[in-house]
Structure 1
Amino acid sequence: MYKIVYFLLFFIMATPLCCSVFGQQVPIINYSTTIDGRVQLEVSSTTQHYYLLQVRHDSTQSFELTTSIQLGKSGTTTLTEPLAYYSLAHYQVLEYPIAAPYDIDGDGIDDISELQNFPTQNPINAAPSIAPVNGSISIDSFSTFNQLSIARDFVQWSEFLNGKRYAKFIITDFTTAPKVYFINGNTHTLHADFANAVGIRHLGNDVKKGQLIYHPTTISNNGTLGTFAFNYSNGHGENFEIVQKCHELLAANMPFLNNNLSYYVTTNSQDEYERDSTKYKTSRIPLLFEKDVFAQVDYWGLNEAEGYGFFREMSLSDIPGIKDIVLYASLPNSLPRVGGIITSVIQTPLSHVNLRAIQDGVPNAFIRDPLSIDSIARLLNHTIYFKVEPDKFFIREASSEEVNQWYESLRPEQKQTSPLNLNHDAILPLDEITFSMYDGFGAKCANVATMRTFGFPEGTIPNGFGIPFYYYQKFMKHNNLFEQARLMLSNPDFATNRNLRAHLLADFRKKIENALMPNWMRDNLEKMQASFPPNTSIRCRSSTNNEDLPGFNGAGLYESKTHHPNEGHIAKSVQQVYASLWSLRAFDERAFYKVNHFTASMALLCHSNYANEQVNGVGVSKDPVYQTNNTFYYLNSQVGETLITNPDGNAIPEEILLDANSSSSNDYILVRRSNLAANNTTIMQGDYLNQMRTYLTTIHHEFEGLYDAIGNETFAMEIEYKITRDGQLIIKQARPWVAYQATHSFSIPDSDHLDFNLYPNPASDYIQVDWIDGNPSEVMISNMLGKQVLHQCLSISNHPDFRIYIKDLPPGIYVLSGFLAHKGTYTSKKFVKR
């Protein structure tokens, strides 16, 4: 007698029935249902036969789904299936002789041979056997599910899995002869890793990937506590017919289920569900909604941290300050640096709000109806201390002294002086600007110019001009604007009164916009403007000396303007860009990081404007969000001109992880769809993905060498890209990813008399120094044995900073000494060249 004679097994195969010459339909002599809502079908049977149960969703259709298999008993046999019952007209039972078994799944192995080896083999799953270390082609018990599944407190890119036990699945050849695989999550974190291990070569449109999640405290469709739910990778939706087929395939290959498998509708699949909601109502697919899972959650500590600040209720149009602890009733897509975050709507761990909180190390929590809690409501518009823990929060009033001390501890010890080389004094075509000229034209301009040497197709990198810092400095001095700025900053309330500061800065920006530009500058700008084709709109992009730098990218701090032909002289737009250097947010950010406001300068990158683009986006030459072990590039894309970098409150961008090591446009993970894409289509696809992979690889490797960052695991390049209205993929910007930490760094730990600032590569061949007590007449550098290795005699400079070139010094610890002639003293400071 066969060893599995006592087993009742349930399966499904979505292939057309190929009738065996030995198989025949047998009548169903009794129909009933169980207390858990499943069908029971009784047929006359013998021990020399086995029986297949088949189902159809519509009584007018043919039978194409085999949902269970069972060896016959003497007299009668009862068949059931794991899902909710249909009426009798939806079922048929086929009988086959055990001595001459059929191969219902068409995999070349007969049904009985596979039944004997179940669950290693599977009679009606065409998937080949796989090693248990990789996974299984069936789940025959809850114990097996536990062996394959994992539970994590924080799950990358699928926050609905947090704290849940789940197993991933892949169904290949979905439209022809489906092959169902359940992945061993203890071995393979990603679907792609599993696919590579078992020889699945393509994860394209005929493959469905997702998760089976166990919810132990949720009422299932059978009325008992505990239910399984499946969904697709990253919570994306599929149309009803695909969901229905997956539901059947998964359930039948989990024969221990008893009408407790649901389809999990997440926020990412809500649109597809609503479109097909009528079909779901008449189907046997139970639904579990993400919002219902979280319905009883009143608190969620998303980022465990503490902080101080001024507690403010914010709308999406408000601009929070660095020292604000903000309360939102809806989620902003982006945030500047703040002191802490509370939302009264459910966040996810991978929301942009929480990612920013993690990046800045600030507390962030969801609290249901927070202003109904007295301890929170009474502190609104007060300075507070706020601490977030996973299961509770702590909030109290704080003194202004506590707040100021806290933020002072977060700020750099030394003042920062931005790199400023005024020897670059001419407007230049981009093809004449080199990487090393970043200190004259800004890193944004220099990096775009540098990418024009990478051999990309014509038009991939914008062509145009760079206007150097020299022009900004001359413009400001010509109009005595620096003196007016110093007068503004001397107001005793300027630093402490944010509203006053905002008002005075707005007034100062108007002065910059309305000031007179020197004639020689207007003439040169006019020549540049005339170099563009007639009737060209020119994009005037900010390129300051304190953005796009290693360790500080300054994204979104400054404005760019498009100058249209009917606006006359381009000086108008140039001055508007100059004025943005003094916006409230830019000023506060510089003040927080102790950046010198007067050496901070604006250059411009000018090129033809791109209008009516099809796509715009941001990409990174690694995966900084989900940290998938340098396997993927990260792409964030949006339809048309809706910005990724500064989106409106309702726009959700597309997220893609692009396999960096593949040559196929199909090798990517679609993390999230854009809610603006028509019919839930993918924005970036096909040749564009192949081009993007090539461009990002080249940009990463080229700049990795230029920044002397080879082997530095923190290094990556962030790009901004567009697909123009003509269908060309263009790269409009590149800068080091904000987390990049240059290895050529310098530490200067022990003096109050010098303010050092080193911008790492490409400026690693010098130290730029601000001497508070006046400029020295000479400087010396000695090694730790006291031997002098460098001596420079200097003349008094009109600028408060100068450079000490140390390019030729070997790595080591040194002492820098400066003689202050007017005080007759030396001031010394140690630094380390690595």
Structure 2
Amino acid sequence: MRSRLHLAFPLLCAGMMSAAQAGNFAATAQNNPSLQKPNAPASASKDTQSDADYFQTLVSRIDFEALAARSDQPGAQSIREVKFLIMDVNTDNPSLYFFNTERYPYHYAFASEGLGYSGSLSEFNSTTYFRDDRMHLAGSILAHDHYRSEEGVDGLYTVQFWPVDPVTPALTDKAYKMIAEQMTFAPGQIRYYPASDVHLDIYNNNLAFFESAQLPVIQNEDLFANIEFSILNQGKGYGRLRVINPGDSVPSVSDVVIYTYIPNDLAHVAGIITDSPQTPLSHINLKAKQNNTPNAYMRDAVNNPEVAPLIGELVKYEVTGDGIVLTAATQEEVDTWLESVRPDPQTPQSDLTVTEPALLSELGNGDWIRFGAKAANVAELAKALEPLESEYGHQMVPRGYAVPFSMYNDYMNLPRCQELEEDDDGNLVPDGKYRALCDAERPTEVRNTDSNTLSVSLFNQATPQTLPAGSRDMELVLDNANGLVLFMRDVTNDRWLLNPLPFTDSVLSTSGSSEYRGLNINYLREDGKKSVSIAGDTDFELEVFVLALWAIEAELAITRTRDLPADYFVERSYFEQIESIMADEDFLASPDVRASELKAFRKEVEKGEVTAQMHDKLEAMRTFWDPQGAPYTKNIRLRSSTNNEDLAGFNGAGLYESNTHKPDEGDIADSVKKVWASLWTHRAFEERRFYRIDHFKTYMGVLAHESYGDEQANGVAVTKNIYDENWEGYYVNVQYGEISVTNPEPIITSEGEVSSVPDEFLLAHLLAGDDPYNPEHWWWAQQYIRHSNVETVYDQPVMTENVLTDEETVQLRRAMQAIQGHFRPIYQGDRSFAMDIEFKITATEDNSRGHLEIKQARPWID
């Protein structure tokens, strides 16, 4: 059995319980696939509210829907919920009421207004919750309409209680059997779901009772194993329906995509369907929420008989509370929708006056305009968590440096010139790549050598080598020259130069010299070689021939001086280079061309030369981690920090790239350039293009801190209850090792290759405790939605049953409390404000447990 937080709960008085808490907060799992037909019956596509306050028997699905309200529950969005109340549950004549949950969102409201209950809220609470001898019992029934069992049964109804209400096995059995008897339309489709740790502990400690009572129970693992559909983000989009496999061409904003895998690089698209499960904190869903993109998980969507015929066609794609609406659309509808969702042109804010890398300890949130929001918020995190760091005795926020926007801007504006490289013939030619800083003392001419291996038979003339007019200072060297005759021909004036003195005998055995058209020609025969040097400029085209007196092999090397082409001296900064690339018609028209061209451009940026001053500024940072200087020993993590990510209203999740600089990898500037280059990833470019954000006013800063090696755990969390903002809490995804939470990847388990699943849970507090007005003394409930399916990490069995230990969970919760309290006034947030954080449990060298560290914080986007 997994380790759990064990809590004892007192009776809640009216002053301690919020209205929301007086209702039933229960966990559900996600739904199965449902393709909602546009003209489906009301019972399948919309809620039909009844005038009735309650029913005591539900004889049809129509009755259920007449009472149901939409509810966002942990693991399931927009699920139908009908709340129930059993009055006099402690007697032989209890009364069950399925009540109108839209009209009465709280159990007490129904009891008092719908049934005429005359007691106070405090009296109702004290007789309905937390007592074994309670008089009444409150709960909910959730409709998992898209659940499909292994036996092929569609749909499931789960009976659930408020997660922190310790309902006894006997009361659970009594409630379940009353509900099963009075929901006559769903025989065999009703299960008790112990949704929280409180209920799971009760269930696991009373297995014999539940088995003897023959009470059907479903747990997280079984519920999620049969999930074939889940809603991640509701919305609407238009585009061409495309199936994207690994390696396929890049989708665009006018595509509705079915991903057969979870992509690391997600372009801006019109709609998303994945055939692998997601969590609300996956990068895909963060992007979908930011862009108002409809997003859903549907198992085997490609082969769905109602989806497959529309693949390749223009469609309207809508994710609703009931499922997916997917219908044919016109090009006009696609174009109209696309134009309607694009904002006006935008220019990100920046301040380029700071020119030196700065210690994070000297920065705060307000410095985002100079160093980027990621770096500024990590700096601010240290202030928020300083008291906890002192209390726990370990670092909870990375320490290091931030590189300002101005250094990126200077680097991209530096004038650059071409360098020389050897072509396939060994000639030095301009390389066409503007990486090197321009040098005022650069040469204006270059010496090139063409070497050709010759196989010459008797009187079989070899293919001539042509030298253009204007060649200078030539040297011809014929290796293994015995028996070979060297001819030259003035093509321009149709004259032959023999061996090489004009109009003399065809074979010379001694050295000699001559002049021809103002050239000094020197001939030398020595050690089996014939060499001809020609001083001066040719004003004619020259051909060189070799003739054999017998079959022989030799090598002819021709060296000459020539002027470098005029375009070799053109100065082109990286900004000028990308501006030219962006002006190309093919680049404008094709996402695939953009992806290819941007990849090549990033390679150039990564290889560009930095100034000596830049080099020294960046190298100076390394003494923060290695005070002794070179040789360095620390791995440094370098992370993107722009003025176009981690902002309120725009998280930019996954747009840019980070990398780790190792001590043996040379100058740290080489790794910083990789981060700078990532501003031009295809996904980032497409995002800015869609939002009409000025590419040239988007600047890249760099957050630099020590890399801690293989993490024992990594996770993401939101500093609020994302399912019900009326019930304060925190939502957490966490995974073993460095297996990605935000971009789930395939793993090997005892069941074969499967998609990785993280621990996913909700932490919610009760307004009760030793001091209900002091958050440090509140009592907290931990409600798991699902558990990690990882069995081994770093080739070893996982060491903990939950990814986080109980103590780490408490530290994380307290850190989130501090972060929420610190950042909310900074961002002037309202009651729905929250921060999205990334955290880890650090690695250690002695296999002991590491410590919690918060890596990043940014405003959460609902």
Q: TM class by shorter-chain length?
A: 0.5 to 0.7
Match for residue 327 of structure 1 among 240, 243, 258:
258
**Partner residue in 2 for 1:547:** 645
In structure 2, C-alpha distance between the alignment counterparts of 1:301 and 1:697, rounded to whole Å: 28
Counterparts of 2:738 and 2:347, CA distance in 1: 35
State the 1:506 CA deviation: 0.5
Match of 2:56 in 1: 143
- Once the two structures are superposed, the pairs formed by residues 642-661 of structure 1 within 5 Å of their partners are 642-648=739-745, 650-653=755-758, 654-659=760-765
**Counterpart contact for 1:334–1:353, Cα < 8 Å:** no
The equivalent position to 1:475 in structure 2, one of 382, 398, 411, is 411
Alignment counterpart, residue 851 of structure 2, candidates 721, 728, 732: 728
Letter in 2 for 1:380: I
**Which position in structure 1 is the counterpart of 2:239?**
309
Deviation of 1:562 (Å): 1.1
The match for 1:582 is 680
Alpha-carbon spacing, 1:306–1:736, altered in 2? closer, same or farther (3 Å): closer
Superposed CA deviations along residues 756-781 of structure 1, whole A, max 9, x for unmatched, are xxxxxxxxxxxxxxxxxxxxxxxxxx
Distance, in Å, in 2 between the alignment partners of 1:666 and 1:255 is 34
Please report how far the alpha carbon of residue 379 of structure 1 lies from its aligned counterpart in structure 2 after TM superposition.
4.5
> Deviation digits for residues 284-337 of structure 1, max 9, x if unmatched?
455679999999999999976542223210237766443320124577799664
* Residue number among 669, 672, 690 corresponding to 1:571 in the alignment: 669
Higher relative contact order (CA 8 A, sep 6+): 2
> How has the CA–CA distance of structure 1 residues 468 and 329 changed in structure 2, closer, same or farther, with 3 Å as cutoff?
closer
More displaced stretch, 390-399 vs 638-647: 390-399
Deviates more, 1:380-389 or 1:493-502: 380-389
Cα distance in 2, alignment partners of residues 346 and 316 from structure 1: 17
Shift of 1:134: 8.1
Residue 445 of structure 1 corresponds to 375
Q: Which residue of structure 1 lines up, in the alignment, with residue 366 of structure 2?
A: 436
Please name the residue that 1:674 is paired with.
787
> What displacement does 1:621 show?
2.5
User: 1:157: Cα distance to partner?
Assistant: 2.1
Aligned equivalents of 2:107, 2:852: Cα separation in 1: 32
Corresponding residue number in structure 1 for 2:349: 419
CA distance in 1, matches of 2:727, 2:359: 36
The CA distance in 2 between the partners of 1:209 and 1:316, in whole Å, is 49
The amino acid of 1:198's aligned partner reads N
Q: Which digits, 9 at most, give the CA deviation of each residue in 1:2-28, with x for residues without a partner? A: xxxxxxxxxxxxxxxxxxxxxxxxxxx
C-alpha separation in 2, matches of 1:216 and 1:424: 57
Superposed CA offset, 1:69-91 (max 9, x none): xxxxxxxxxxxxxxxxxxxxxxx
Partner of 1:311, secondary structure, is strand
Counterpart selection for 2:584 from 469, 474, 491: 491
> Which of 145, 151, 159 in structure 1 is aligned with 2:76?
159
Question: How far apart, CA to CA, are the structure 2 residues paired with 1:555 and 1:219?
Answer: 33
Q: Structure 1 residues 402, 163: CA separation in 2 closer, same or farther (over 3 Å shift)? A: closer
**Deviations 1:138-183, CA, capped at 9 Å, x for gaps:** xxx9928999x963344422539933645499xxxxxxxxxxx999
Pair 499,528 (structure 1): closer, same or farther in 2 beyond 3 Å: same
Give, in whole Å, the separation in 2 of the partners of 1:225 and 1:301: 18
Alignment match, 1:128: none
* Alpha-carbon distance in 2 for matches of 1:647, 1:604: 26
Aligned ranges 1:499-538 → 2 under 5 Å: 499-533=592-626, 534-538=632-636
TM superposition shift of 1:612? 2.6
Structure 1 unaligned regions, length at least 5: 1-132, 136-140, 170-180, 740-834
TM-score (norm 1): 0.57
Shift of 1:388: 5.9
Q: CA RMSD in A?
A: 5.6
The amino acid of 1:469's aligned partner reads F
Describe the shift of the 1:701–1:306 C-alpha distance in structure 2 as closer, same or farther (beyond 3 A): closer
Residues 212, 231 of structure 1: 8 Å contact kept: yes
- The residue number in structure 1 matching 2:334 is 403
The answer to whether the Cα contact below 8 Å between 2:290 and 2:650 also exists between their aligned partners in 1 is: no
Deviation at 1:408, TM superposition (A): 2.4
* TM-score (structure 2 length as normaliser): 0.55
Offset, 1:538: 0.8
What is the match of residue 821 of structure 2? 701
Q: What is the alpha-carbon distance in structure 2 between the residues aligned to residue 376 and residue 616 of structure 1?
A: 36
CA contact (8 A) 2:263 2:743 kept: no
What's the offset of the Cα at 1:418? 1.9
SS of structure 1 residue aligned to 2:406: helix
1:438/1:249 CA distance change after superposition, 3 Å:
same
What displacement does 1:522 show?
1.1
1:492 and 1:615 mapped to 2: Cα distance? 47
- 2:257–2:269 Cα contact (<8 Å) kept: yes
| Aligned equivalents of 2:284, 2:208: Cα separation in 1 | 35
Contact 1:635 1:656 survives alignment (8 Å)? yes
In structure 2, the CA distance between the partners of 1:441 and 1:202, relative to structure 1 (3 Å rule), is farther
Match of 1:738 in 2: 861
Could you tell me how far 1:589 is from its partner in structure 2? 0.5
Letter in 2 for 1:631: E
Once the two structures are TM-superposed, the CA of residue 354 in structure 1 deviates from its matched residue by 7.5
CA apart distance, 1:228: 7.1
Q: How far 1:542 moved relative to its partner? A: 0.8
Equivalent AA in structure 1 for residue 604 of structure 2: K
Q: Distance in 2 between matches of 1:298 and 1:674?
A: 18
What residue in structure 1 maps to residue 312 of structure 2? 381
Once the two structures are superposed, the pairs formed by residues 750-761 of structure 1 within 5 Å of their partners are: none
Q: Retained in 1: the 8 A contact 2:283–2:653?
A: no
* Helix, strand or coil at the partner of 2:237: strand
Say how many residue pairs are matched: 575
Q: SS of the residue aligned with 1:581? A: helix
User: Distance between the aligned counterparts of 1:738 and 1:165, measured in 2?
Assistant: 29
- Going from structure 1 to structure 2, the CA distance change for 1:200 and 1:646 (only over 3 Å counts) comes to farther
Q: Which residue among 808, 815, 836 is the counterpart of 1:718?
A: 836
- Identity percentage of aligned residues: 33
3-state DSSP of counterpart to 1:643: coil
Contact 2:251 2:267 in 1 (8 A): yes
2:861 partner SS: coil
SS at 1:312's partner residue?
A: strand
Q: Distance in 1 between matches of 2:682 and 2:80?
A: 41
When structure 1 is superposed on structure 2, of 562-571 and 382-391 the one drifting more is 382-391
Structure 1 counterpart of 2:383, one-letter code? T
Is 2:283–2:743's contact at 8 Å kept on the other side of the alignment? no
The answer on whether the counterparts of 2:834 and 2:860 sit within 8 Å (CA) in structure 1 is yes
1:614 aligns with 2:541: no
* Superposed CA offset, 1:413-442 (max 9, x none): 2x2222221210011111222333222111
C-alpha distance in structure 1 between counterparts of 2:236 and 2:379, whole Å? 43
Report the Cα distance in structure 1 between the residues aligned to 2:786 and 2:225, rounded to whole angstroms.
Answer: 24
Q: State whether residues 255 and 270 of structure 2, in contact with CA within 8 Å, keep that contact through their aligned partners in structure 1.
A: yes
Work out the CA distance in 2 between the residues paired with 1:209 and 1:336.
46
Aligned CA distance change for structure 1 residues 597 and 449 (closer, same or farther; 3 Å): same
Cα distance in 2 for partners of 1:431, 1:295 equals 47
Corresponding residue of 1:341: 272
Counterpart of 2:725 in structure 1 is 628
| Structure 1 contact 157–234 (Cα < 8 Å) conserved | no
Distance apart, 1:511 and its partner CA: 0.3
* 8 Å CA contact retained: 1:168, 1:212: no
- CA distance in structure 2 between the aligned counterparts of 1:679 and 1:200, rounded to whole angstroms: 43
Amino acid in structure 1 at the alignment position of 2:835: M
Judge conservation of contact 1:308–1:406 (CA < 8 Å) in 2.
yes
Given that residues 387 and 395 in structure 1 are in contact (C-alpha distance below 8 angstroms), is that contact kept between their aligned partners in structure 2? Answer: no
Secondary structure class of the residue paired with 1:500: helix
> How far apart are the structure 2 equivalents of 1:370 and 1:621?
33
